[in-house]
Amino acid sequence: MASSLRRHAIAIFKAALRAADPEEAIHRHLMRQGDVLVAGRKRYSLPRFERVYVLGAGKAGASMARSVAGILGVRLTAGFVNVPAVHAGRLRRIELNAAGHPIPDGSGVEGARHIAQIASQAGPRDLVVCVISGGASAMLPFPAPGVTLGDKQQITKLLLDCGATIHEINCIRKHVSLLKGGGLARLAYPATVLALILSDVIGDDLDVIGSGPTVPDHTTFADARAILKKYGIWKQVPAAIRERLSSAVQETPKPGDPIFARVQNLIVGSNRLAVDAAALEARSRGFRTVVLSTSIEGEAREVARVYAAIAKEIRAVRRPVRPPACIISGGETTVTIRAGGLGGRNQEFALAAAIDIAGLSDVLILSAGTDGADGPTDAAGAIADGATIARAQRRGLDARRFLANNDSYSFLSALGGLITTGPTGTNVADVQIILVG
């Protein structure tokens, strides 16, 4: 039963990945009809533009840029996109620059500076096509005056370790950077801007995806200060960042600002689409399937316990659906780092779930990131079943000790529970799957 459920779970997850393919996402929403570029419900007459640029950043940046370049053809003037190192190189007229993630690096800063330079030189008769996907926040580091790359690296690590949500982390990022929180749109004004966005954010909040470089910002410097104080890390934040957040500097551009009058922000793919595809695959395999939510967030180990409880309920009293059952969800949990182990939110989710479903031979839980990278590891996520803990005990492994040490990677690696896809070239957050045979 366990091996059969595992094969089904992997196939269902792969269906989610296929649906999140960034090149297909672009072609679903962007096409060229002669000299007219059609983006969603808007049409752009290409002859009226003197120059057409492609700019952007994110884990899916290379694939998105490739699709856009193919559609634009000879109308493309030039482009520059910050991407993961594995995707760096050149496309036709577009440079793909390596940038660090989740901690920003010097190459990312240099790339962001080049992107800012191109945006700044765009004029009223130019079109700037932006490709934005998950990871863009870290890959588009353009520190505000007085803030250094080292400051940004330090605050990023503090925020990742304290368990802050992506909405909170990106609020801080928008106020210590010149490209985020509408900053790229501000630099490109008065050019026409078309932003093609692959969402990795719960609720598809435009101003949070990639920290909203082309979107009005609803947050303020006061909000940023409040978040840092909420988690008790205000005094650990670099002095230059505390000074910036406390000073009366220019706010990020807000809704109604005229710089957004010629900006179109278009979501081309999201977690919802991936989850829907996974559900379709599960049904085709004979599972009675329920999509629980695409807005899952919270501490990974606590959310995992809820999922384990759902599996137990299905098994015991056949609700909310009768076996063979599949429950699918999407979103992004967080992990509060308490020790020095190795892992990511999806692996910690699987380890915590394993403890609660121990002994249930017909239950399996999978949690994995669509980007192929879970935390600072080479795994996308992990699978646990009712026999995981028994296998661990035979090897002398204490699951609760590994969980306490945030060392889910070591535990699951020893048991063959890791899911390793390599970089997928996309990013629409995480997918969780419960199977009850």
pLDDT of residue 3: 86
Q: Does residue 182 come out as left (phi exceeding 0), alpha (psi in the -120 to 50 range) or beta?
A: left
Residue numbers in the chain where pLDDT is lower than 70: 1
Over the stretch 359-411, which tens digit does the pLDDT of each residue have?
Answer: 998 999 999 999 999 999 999 999 999 999 999 999 999 999 999 999 999 99
77: buried, middle or exposed (CB in 10 Å: 19+, 13-18, 0-12)?
middle
Over the stretch 11-37, which tens digit does the pLDDT of each residue have?
Answer: 999 999 999 999 999 999 999 999 999
pLDDT of residue 53: 98
pLDDT of residue 227: 98
Dist CA 82 CA 406 (whole Å): 31
How is 285-353 classified by DSSP, letter by letter? Answer: TT-EEEEEEEEE-SBHHHHHHHHHHHHHHHHHH--SSPSSEEEEEEE--B----SS----HHHHHHHHH
Given a contact cutoff of 8 angstroms between Cβ atoms, the answer to whether 327 and 376 are in contact is: no
pLDDT of residue 336: 93
Q: Where are the beta strands (DSSP E) in 63-168?
A: 78-83, 89-91, 94-98, 126-133
Helix axes 149-162, 166-174, angle to 10 degrees: 160
Other beta carbons within 10 angstroms of residue 92's beta carbon come to: 13
Dist CA 198 CA 200 (whole Å): 7
CA-based nearest residue to 78, from 56, 58, 99, 51: 51
CA-based nearest residue to 133, from 19, 21, 300: 21
pLDDT of residue 174: 97
Dist CA 296 CA 294 (whole Å): 6
CB proximity list for 222: less than 8 A, separation 6 or greater: none
Dist CA 171 CA 220 (whole Å): 8
How is 351-409 classified by DSSP, letter by letter? Answer: HHHHHHTTT-TTEEEEEEETTS--SSSS-SEEEEETTHHHHHHHTT--HHHHHHTT-HH
Given a contact cutoff of 8 angstroms between Cβ atoms, the answer to whether 141 and 210 are in contact is: no
CA-based nearest residue to 154, from 236, 210, 220, 57: 236
Write down the number of H helices and E strands in the chain. Answer: 16, 16
Residues paired with 96 in a beta bridge: 81, 89
Other beta carbons within 10 angstroms of residue 31's beta carbon come to: 12
